[in-house]
Amino acid sequence: MKIKDLPKVDRPREKLEKYGPEKLSNSELLAILLRIGSKGLNVVELSRKILGKFSRNSLAKASFKDLK
């Protein structure tokens, strides 16, 4: 499902504006930084996949190649 197909209250940027960063999940915060998903994954799904593979510390040190 594309982000634009989600209800506005479930979209990361809109949630950030309405509730502030403390109310967002790590995957929603990462989604805001990434801005776009990949083929077959919207940006929130991609963020969840990345966070499932990397800890926050290892993500900070990951190369672009590691993230592919």
Q: Which structural domain range is residue 59 located in?
A: 3-67
6 class by beta-carbon count within 10 Å (0-12 exposed, 13-18 middle, 19+ buried): middle
Residue 54 pLDDT exceeds 80 = yes
Confidence of residue 42 (pLDDT cuts 50, 70, 90): very high
Summary mean pLDDT of the chain: 91
Q: In the chain, what percentage of residues exceed pLDDT 90? A: 63
Q: Return d(Cα 32, Cα 16) in angstroms, integer.
A: 9
Residue 38 pLDDT exceeds 80 = yes
Q: What pLDDT score was predicted for residue 28?
A: 95
Q: Return d(Cα 45, Cα 37) in angstroms, integer.
A: 8
Sequence letter at residue 25: S
Looking at the structure of the chain, the number of domains it has is 1
Q: Return d(Cα 11, Cα 8) in angstroms, integer.
A: 5
